[in-house]
Amino acid sequence: MQYAEILVDVANRRLDQIFHYRVPQLLTLKVGMRVIVPLGHRQVQGIVLRRADVLPEEAKEHVLKDVLAVVDDALAIPEDLLNLALWMAERTLCPIAQSLHTVWPLMKGKVEEWVVPLASKEDEDVQTLKFLDPEVYKGFTVLFRAKQKALPLSVFLKRSGFSQGKMDELLNQGWLRIESRFTSGIPAGARKQPPGETQLLEAKLITEGWKLTPEQAEACQGIEKALDGKAYQTILLHGVTGSGKTEVYREVITKVIAQGGTAILLVPEISLTSQVAYYFQKQFGHQVIVMHSGLKSGEKVKAWQEILKGQVKLVIGARSAVFAPLTNLRLIILDEEHEGAYKQDENPKYHARDVARKRMEQHQGVVVLGSATPSLEAYAAAQTGQIGFTKMEHRVADRPLPPVEIVDMREELMKGNRSMFSVALQSKIRSRLETQEQSMIFLNRRGYSTFVNCRECGYVVRCPDCDVALTYHSNGQVMRCHYCNHEEVPPHVCPECGSRYIRFFGQGTQRVEEELQGLFPKSRILRLDWDTTRAPENYNRILSTFRKQEADILVGTQMLAKGLDFPNVTLVGVIAADQLLNMPDFRAKERAFQLLTQVAGRTGRSNKPGEVVFQTYSPKDRAIVLASQHDYLHFFWEEIKYRKDRRYPPFTHVIRVILLHEKEDRVIKAAHSLTEFLRLGILNNEGGYNDLVILGPAPAVLARLKNKFRWQVLVKGKRLEPLRAFLHQGVQKYAQDSSSQGVQLNIEVDPLSMG
DNA sequence: AGCACGCCGACT
DNA sequence: GTCGGCGTGCTC
């Protein structure tokens, strides 16, 4: 008898284990194949992990069932990607099923009970039912109306209104039959559609740079040497804004492809893929494919199939493209490596950097991390020699980095200027309008005002489902929750004390736009933020309008900071540089420095020199001062010392578990139970986890979100692997306990922010 | 996760 | 009396 080890496709921690099944003679199973297996009282998808001739001891106590079928026409997961999925589940502490779906999106599908009629519409018996039992006849009509002349049981019950009793009656009388059917989640004919035309519009025009600068040439040599080494390596490419990192990428990718290899180029945002793709398609044509989560499922499947056919040599995309099933993969590049978007904020909460490293370890290839402002983790790793390092300190054509003026807004206030714009910034904008050059104004907060508040009693309007203040939006004149999108009309009188002194406080991009328009009535202003780019085509439309110089000023949130290149922009203004610093988070300074440096880097990118203004209430702050001097090195050493003194990452690792439920008592009980299991783990001390600290349980920073209460438990430790293994054990035990029933678990390894 | 079983209130 | 609400337990 043949046996198979199966991973079942059910996203639940209790089922995160190997299940054993017997393999009937008729079926030939291979590792990575999709199969249908019985599980409890239903049938589910599964993946063949291994075949075995002998059953392990622990499996013998079960009565084994048979594998029912192989999912036909489905491709088996390549073994390297199967291993990658297992590794990722372990690494991010998420259920294996979720990890599998992320690595192998072709796995969509489920087994369902379907109701099938046992007579046709024209049957006399059915026709007589019309009079004898109109209710049953109605059931038939519901089925006959359906496209496939049959319906999933749950849908049928809803549409017909039949109860379980009525259902049994019909089944017994032989009118209907129930059968299990497998529905593939992949649309039958994956639609044929080349990458959208709009994607090509917003392309960067390349007029220069075909000859490498000496720094670029040196960076290329370093990477190429690593590629020739045929062993895994990561290299950090630290190049100031405008130093031409893309050129380096192009050069090394060309080399990889020439040698018969393939590569992946990751960019932080979907919106940036089209710019970059255009640049590379000019050289590599159809060997390039764009991939990201914004593709419709049909397009995604098509892209996947194209890659599997072996025609594709280069995949360009956002985070999820790191899983592209290329063969002969030699190189993965992460552009703007420091960007938070590389970490997925739903399960599996992976960081593309880690996945890239794992894949290149599997294939003895090279990872390149490119940035002007590397993450502290990456730069520290380069300093200690764990990863390679190469740098580019000069912009192309020896253009200078733009001078930055720091304006103290307290002084502005003392001088009687109560507007959002300092005198200096106003006059610089005015002169740009006169010379027909362009400006970018940055404020990292969308909406009009950040909270609505009663001056009499201090009441602040909050979201009913989340623990946050609502933001007022001037378009539509509503208050909106930035976490769950709940909307409300602002009150005229205070709901608490009845006072009419309701005022709007704090500033967002809508307010910036409005006030600018007031100051410069003739100027043409565009806004780039989450609200104006809700429809995906708007992003490119706004940018191409700005590029064609049909607008003078572009106001926006951090979307402005990412990789944009407009030759005519000679002024960048940051409205409130401090606001970035005041986040309750040890990474706030790092993020502020990165964002300020990146925004400043958007100007002076052509032969016209650029200028930058940082407005702030804390002009002495080190992140602000050092960003104004474009001094990454000093910032790194100051910040790394602070992290070391306070024992923050990268010197320690943190795993955060958030527990969620609608009922507060259930969460509290579960959180305590989990903490108990973890403390027991330390007491038993089998893995030698003596440097671990458990903090909590305590209400999470956002104690309520989307109508769910949130409690958290933090575990800190010096080394990541033992910490992860410790949590895995603890969570596994907790998941078997009844207190965990129904309470959602949200686990994050090394979270980027504590909010 | 889903599905069954078992125990309670409230209705044709 | 039965229908259906949800706590509890189980899945090779």
Asked if residue A351 and residue A207 are part of one domain, the reply reads yes
CA distance A300 to A277: 16
Going along A575-652, which residue ranges are E strands?
611-616
pLDDT of residue A672 exceeding 60:
yes
CA distance A155 to A161: 10
Among the candidates A587, A614, A644, a domain finishes at A644
Asked if residue A327 and residue A202 are part of one domain, the reply reads yes
pLDDT at A484: 67
pLDDT of residue A208 exceeding 70:
no
Q: Is the C-beta of residue A42 closer than 7 Å to nucleic acid chain B?
A: yes
Question: Which tens digits make up the pLDDT trace of A211-225?
Answer: 888 999 999 999 999
pLDDT at A754: 63
Nearest nucleotide to the CA of A745, by C1', is: B1
Nearest nucleotide to the CA of A61, by C1', is: C12
Question: Which tens digits make up the pLDDT trace of A2-20?
Answer: 999 999 999 988 898 899 9
- Which residue range forms the structural domain that includes residue A71? 2-109
pLDDT band at A686 (very low <50, low <70, confident <90, very high): low
Chain B positions under 7 Å from a protein CB?
A: 1-4
Spatial distance from the CA of A136 to the C1' of C2 (Å): 21
In a domain, A295, yes or no: yes
A481 annotated ligand binder:
yes
Among the candidates A85, A109, A133, a domain finishes at A109
Asked if residue A133 and residue A102 are part of one domain, the reply reads no
pLDDT of residue A195 exceeding 60:
no
A94 annotated ligand binder:
no
Q: What single letter denotes the amino acid at residue A47? A: I
Question: Which tens digits make up the pLDDT trace of A253-305?
Answer: 999 999 999 999 999 987 778 778 888 888 888 899 998 877 777 788 888 88
Strand partners, A317: A266, A291
Place of tokens 């671990």: A692
- Burial (CB count <10 Å: 0-12, 13-18, 19+), residue A668: middle
Question: Which tens digits make up the pLDDT trace of A74-104?
Answer: 788 999 999 999 999 999 999 999 999 999 9
Asked if residue A149 and residue A100 are part of one domain, the reply reads no
The residue with greater pLDDT, A468 or A315, is A315
Instruction: Tell me what the mean pLDDT of segment A653-670 comes to.
Output: 85
Look at residues A690, A644, A691, A699 and name the one whose alpha carbon lies nearest to residue A667: A699
Question: Which tens digits make up the pLDDT trace of A37-60?
Answer: 999 889 999 999 999 988 888 888
Question: Which tens digits make up the pLDDT trace of A547-595?
Answer: 999 989 899 888 888 777 888 889 999 998 888 777 667 788 899 999 9
The number of folded domains in chain A is 6
Asked if residue A82 and residue A207 are part of one domain, the reply reads no
Count Cβ atoms below 10 Å from residue A25 Cβ, excluding itself: 7
Write the DSSP symbol of residue A375. -
Spatial distance from the CA of A173 to the C1' of C2 (Å): 21
Q: What percent of chain A is modeled with pLDDT above 70?
A: 94
pLDDT at A342: 95
User: To the nearest whole number, what is the mean pLDDT of chain A?
Assistant: 85
pLDDT at A177: 81
Asked if residue A219 and residue A80 are part of one domain, the reply reads no
The pTM of the full predicted model, rounded to 2 decimals, is 0.87
pLDDT band at A207 (very low <50, low <70, confident <90, very high): very low
Question: Which tens digits make up the pLDDT trace of A338-370?
Answer: 999 999 988 899 999 999 999 999 999 999 999
In a domain, A255, yes or no: yes
pLDDT at A190: 39
Among the candidates A331, A363, A397, a domain finishes at A397
Asked if residue A521 and residue A496 are part of one domain, the reply reads no
Q: Is the C-beta of residue A521 closer than 7 Å to nucleic acid chain B?
A: no
Nearest nucleotide to the CA of A63, by C1', is: C12
Asked if residue A739 and residue A664 are part of one domain, the reply reads yes
Asked if residue A549 and residue A410 are part of one domain, the reply reads yes
Q: CATH number of the domain that A79 lies in?
A: 3.40.1440.60
Cβ atoms of A368 and A391 closer than 8 Å: no
pLDDT band at A636 (very low <50, low <70, confident <90, very high): very high
Nearest nucleotide to the CA of A40, by C1', is: C11
Q: What percent of chain A is modeled with pLDDT above 90?
A: 36
